[in-house]
Structure 1
Amino acid sequence: MLATMGAQNPEQRITQPAESLRRLEEAVPTLTALRRTRPAVIDWARAESALGTPLPGDYKLLAEAYPSFASSGGYLRVGLPAPGDGQPLPDTEELLDIVRDWWEEDMSMGLPPHPAPGGLLPWADSEQGDLFLWSTTGDAPDDWPVVVAPRDHPWWQYAGGAVQFLADLADGTLAPWGLIDVHDDGVTALAP
């Protein structure tokens, strides 16, 4: 983490993907209406090969259990790979282009875009132009912190996984620094 970036830490980092998903479902009860009847079969080897990195287990479990979704107000969008989809993360290249532009314009807090070591890899966005990224640092993808890049506010880091971040943001445990409050907002499925 860079000294100039704010940080929020969960009371306890959840290390088990199933526990993170359970917390998200508790925080956003309407999410369960979107849950697949059977886990999706996603070719993770192909997706991770295309990205050049393994992905965190909590994100993979979320993608197997749910389609892409957005908060009911449409603010926060979480794109997830669809079964049989060869694209590792929806809109990856488009969002990485934004991160590359930030890097080239010295607006990325000194964090390079993925695939550079420790590079920023986007996993969600907002209708306001905010990005939610992993900083691909640490011993394993499950250790990657979330970097929040609000469009018009200072960037900050969350020292938990992506799914725990969504749960803490939705239940109000996490202060939404520079973000729209999505507490109790509910969710809708996004078209594939």
Structure 2
Amino acid sequence: MDDFVGTQAPARRLSDPREAVDELERAVPGLSALRLANPTDINWHLVETELGCGLPADYKLLCQLYPPFILGDFLGVGGPAPGQEVAWARDSWNDLEDVAEWCTEADLAVPMHPYPAPGGLLPWAGSYQGDLFLWTTTPASPDEWTVTVASRSSAWWHYSGGAVQFLADLVSGAVQPWALPRVRAEATAC
């Protein structure tokens, strides 16, 4: 049986994408050295059309300001490259097969399902140890989506803030890394 560990909440949910990115830069001081000289021109309309849903503004801003990167030799974060938007979205659809398998294998009191099911899970990052970091999609604005963590050790948990704030809180220690290792405040480009 898989374990649902619980839900953690930030002291205050950051709704401004810029504020969330600033918080991540404070938590990971070396991250700003990776910032692109000019924001990447990602065609988000194309990505979102292919996915069939919008994506959170904090994540989109992070992907425009930074190349794909790794936090603490553990967690890989990145988005579509210009010109590769459709391929990236299609890869996301393919990743949903793994999410469906994890959801099926999880013996949780409240079953979870992959996107596009109502409230379905949509992956946005992964660890090199096989952990999944997902959005819990809702009919509300993507900016109100929360994070679900599915660890390789079969523990599932929620974080009631956005993805970028989650990264900042995970690295800074403001959130407990239930079933995950501590993530060092280091960032390297992929």
1:99 partner amino acid: V
Instruction: Could you list the structure 1 runs, at least 4 aligned residues long, displaced by more than 2 angstroms after superposition.
Output: 87-91, 102-109
Query: Hey, what's the Cα distance between the residues in 1 that align with 2:18 and 2:115?
Result: 27
1:37-52 to structure 2, matched below 5 A, reads: 37-52=37-52
Query: Hey, what's the Cα distance between the residues in 2 that align with 1:26 and 1:10?
Result: 16
* Equivalent residue, structure 2, for 1:102: 102
2:159 partner amino acid: Y
Three-state SS of the structure 1 residue aligned to 2:155 is coil
* Equivalent residue, structure 1, for 2:142: 141
Q: Please report the TM-score for the alignment, with normalisation by the length of structure 2.
A: 0.91
* Equivalent residue, structure 1, for 2:80: 81
Query: Hey, what's the Cα distance between the residues in 2 that align with 1:105 and 1:159?
Result: 24
State percent identity of aligned pairs.
49
Q: CA RMSD in A?
A: 1.8
Unaligned runs of 5+ in 2: none
Three-state SS of the structure 1 residue aligned to 2:125 is strand
* Equivalent residue, structure 2, for 1:14: 14
1:149 partner amino acid: A
Please say if residues 80 and 88 of structure 2, whose CA atoms lie closer than 8 Å, have aligned partners that are also in contact: yes
Check 1:31–1:89 CA distance in 2 against 1; reply closer, same or farther (3 A cut): farther
Q: What does the per-residue CA deviation read over 1:99-135, in whole Å, with 9 as the maximum and x for residues that have no partner?
A: 1112344557511111111110000001111000000
Query: Hey, what's the Cα distance between the residues in 1 that align with 2:169 and 2:139?
Result: 22
Please say if residues 131 and 150 of structure 2, whose CA atoms lie closer than 8 Å, have aligned partners that are also in contact: yes
1:164 partner amino acid: Q
Please say if residues 89 and 123 of structure 1, whose CA atoms lie closer than 8 Å, have aligned partners that are also in contact: no
Query: Hey, what's the Cα distance between the residues in 1 that align with 2:105 and 2:10?
Result: 32
Unaligned runs of 5+ in 1: none
* Equivalent residue, structure 2, for 1:127: 128
Please say if residues 92 and 123 of structure 2, whose CA atoms lie closer than 8 Å, have aligned partners that are also in contact: yes
* Equivalent residue, structure 2, for 1:187: 187
Three-state SS of the structure 1 residue aligned to 2:135 is strand
Three-state SS of the structure 1 residue aligned to 2:70 is strand
Query: Hey, what's the Cα distance between the residues in 1 that align with 2:168 and 2:112?
Result: 25
* Equivalent residue, structure 2, for 1:63: 63
Please say if residues 50 and 90 of structure 2, whose CA atoms lie closer than 8 Å, have aligned partners that are also in contact: no
Q: Please report the TM-score for the alignment, with normalisation by the length of structure 1.
A: 0.90
